[in-house]
Amino acid sequence: MRIPEIIDRQRRGLELTAEAIRDLVIGYVRGEVPDYQVAAWLMAVCLRGMTPRETADLTRAMVDSGETADLGSIPGRKVDKHSTGGVGDKTTLVLAPLVAACGVPVAKMSGRGLGHTGGTLDKLQSIPGVTVSLSRDRFLAQVREIGLAVAGQTADLVPADGLLYALRDVTATVDSVPLIASSIMSKKIAGGADAIVLDVKVGSGAFMRSYEEALELARAMVRIGEEVGRPTVAVLTNMDEPLGRAVGNALEVAEAVETLSGHGPADLVELCLSLAGEMLSLVGAAGDAAEGAAAASTALRTGKALAKLEAMVRAQGGDPRDLRRPGGLPAAPVVAEVPAPEEGHVAGIDAREIGLVAMGLGAGRARKGETVDPAVGLVLRKKVGDAAKAGEPLGLVHARSAPAAEAAVRRVAAAYRVVRERVRPRPLLLARVSSRGVQNL
């Protein structure tokens, strides 16, 4: 089919064949289809949507645009996890070692932070000496040896996604469920895991602000997974306030280590155990998610999961002793308190604004390729539902300079909503979506 006909069918809401979608995607990657035609097609997708079959075919075409990771040399069923992105989301640093400590190999490719959300690679690289650029052979050998590796995605994996995402970014076509779902799932499928667990964030700090939008995205991704034979479960989780207390690269590593030492914040522990349960159950290492969560809890309590993180840090060039000794991780020169303006209870913390403040301090990047400051960020002493006395610190700002700290303190104070009456925090786990349907949690 000629490209203008493909665009025309999409614009009129008529279904495209798998072949037509493939011609467009592969033609684009080969440089045979120009930006302006793909941009017109993306806008038609945004306005008209895609059927589940078309979305799965788009995902397959994107996967086939490049190499796929072959994890066949690693014994056992492999499981991957993806988060749609949030603030303070250091889940992978806790979850990957937890699952590996339960005997299921984790070969994880992660991304960098962009905008107000952080990325696992930046967090890992805040540990002195740690590399996230592993050759394919080294990556596979590490997973075979210690059961765990977290590294950057190689450029030859899903090249269509890089190109399409860049075009979406400048044509106001990012915001489309089939385009987001195929973008995320193509990378997970090309990453080679047998099963996939998705953490779909909902709320002010997330891509999907409303529950309905997040549910639609979760359903679309679970359907793609089923269509391509990779069992997939999505959990919808609250991102109205940051996850845990730390926001910023080294600060989040420190919190992940505390969590693996048994002293983590309740919401982060709850999320990691729940996702670990899903992952272990999906590959048959546990009878169900509850049994998997119990196994993960044991791995946490016994220190086995912390030992896995330490083994990974060593294998990737760092010194695990840096994780726990004072001065082992980068520290910011200025630490300033954010005082509570009055006595009351925390009713809300604008997660997006907290992410933007951390970014402004240097913890994140506004454009791809910018460098990040590993040391700076925030630690929230008070979370939604906590009581605070006037003047008590709501949080701490870790900054490079006093003026940067002062500006951040003002913004963090404004991101908190403190009220007189008691507040019940919103539950963290909202719903679970699988091939069997939606279950409210």
Q: How far is the CB of 169 from ligand URA (least distance, A)?
A: 9
Residue nearest to ligand URA (CB): 183
Cβ closest to ligand URA, residue 184 vs residue 356: 184
Is 184 near ligand URA (CB under 6 A)?
Answer: yes
The catalytic residue among 9, 81, 82, 188 is 82
Beta-carbon-side half-sphere exposure of residue 182 (alpha carbons within 13 Å)? 32
Give whichever of 325 and 367 is closer to ligand URA, judged by the CB atom. 367
For residue 212, what are the β-bridge partners?
A: none
- Cα-based angle 126, 127, 132 (whole degrees, multiple of 5): 80
The token duo for 156 is 């030859």
Question: Could you confirm whether 386 is annotated as catalytic?
Answer: no
Question: In the bound complex, what is the minimum distance in angstroms from residue 70's beta carbon to ligand URA?
Answer: 22
Is residue 110 annotated as part of the catalytic site, yes or no?
no
CA 57 to centroid of chain Cα atoms? 24
Size of the site for ligand URA (CB under 6 A): 6
Number of neighbouring beta carbons within 10 Å of residue 172: 11
Positive or negative, the CA dihedral 40, 15, 83, 314 is: negative
- Enumerate residues 6+ apart whose C-beta is below 8 A from 263: none
The nearer residue to ligand URA, 180 or 251, going by C-beta atoms, is: 180
Task: Show the tokens assigned to 59.
Answer: 């995902």
Q: What single string gives the DSSP state of each residue in 226-271?
A: HHTT--EEEEEEE-SS-SSSEESHHHHHHHHHHHHTT---HHHHHH
Q: How far is the CB of 182 from ligand URA (least distance, A)?
A: 8
Query: In whole angstroms, how close is the CB of 375 to ligand URA at the nearest point?
Result: 27
Which residue in 208, 210, 213, 165 sits closest to 186, CA to CA? Answer: 165
The Cα-based distances of 213 to 130, 147, 289, 317, 354 in angstroms read 37, 35, 25, 41, 22
Q: Report in angstroms how near the CB of residue 186 gets to ligand URA at its nearest.
A: 9
Complex with ligand URA: residue 90 or 308, whichever CB lies closer: 90
Which single residue is written with the structure tokens 């059961």?
147
Please, which residue, 180 or 233, has the CB nearer to ligand URA? 180
Is 180 or 323 the residue whose CB approaches ligand URA more closely? 180
Task: Point out the catalytic residue in the list 65, 110, 183, 281.
Answer: 183
Segment contacting ligand URA by CB under 6 A, of 57-65, 176-184, 269-277, 375-383: 176-184
Question: Is 321 one of the catalytic residues?
Answer: no
**Nearer residue to ligand URA within complex by CB, 83 or 259:** 83
> Going by DSSP bridges, is the β-strand pair 79-83/195-202 parallel, antiparallel, or unpaired?
parallel
Binding letters toward ligand URA, positions 287-316, x by CB under 6 A: ------------------------------
Element (H, E) at 83: strand 79-83
Nearest Cα to 124, choosing from 103, 96, 99? 96
Which segment (177-185, 265-273, 298-306, 376-384) binds ligand URA by CB under 6 A?
A: 177-185
CB of 73 to ligand URA, least distance (A): 27
Query: Given the complex with ligand URA, which of 32 and 175 has the nearer CB atom?
Result: 175
Does residue 234 touch ligand URA according to CB under 6 A? no
- Among the residue ranges 180-188, 229-237, 314-322, 337-345, the one whose residues contact ligand URA (CB under 6 A): 180-188
Under 8 Å CB-to-CB from 238, ≥6 apart: which residues?
201, 202, 203, 426, 427, 428, 429, 430
Structural contact between residues 71 and 78, judged by C-beta atoms closer than 8 angstroms: yes
209: left (phi over 0), alpha (psi -120 to 50) or beta: alpha
Helix (H) or strand (E) holding 106: strand 106-110
Question: CB 105 → ligand URA: shortest distance, Å?
Answer: 23
Catalytic residue selected from 80, 161, 199, 240: 161
Give, in degrees to the nearest 5, the angle at Cα 282 between 281 and 285.
45
* Least gap, CB of 84 to ligand URA (angstroms): 6
Annotated catalytic residue: which of 168, 188, 201, 345? 168
188 is an active site residue: no
Catalytically annotated residue among 78, 90, 123, 187:
187
CA distance 94 to 251: 14
Please report, as residue ranges, which positions from 185 to 214 form the binding site for ligand URA (by CB under 6 A). 207
> Is residue 183 a contact residue for ligand URA (CB under 6 A)?
yes
Catalytic: 168? yes
Residues in 143-172 at the binding interface with ligand URA, rule: CB under 6 A: 165
* Shortest reach from residue 165's CB to ligand URA, in Å: 6
Q: Which is nearer to ligand URA, 165 or 211 (CB)?
A: 165
- Rounded to whole angstroms, the Cα distance separating 279 from 20 reads 35
Binding site for ligand URA (CB under 6 A): 165, 179-180, 183-184, 207
Tell me which residues are annotated as active site: 82, 161, 168, 183, 187
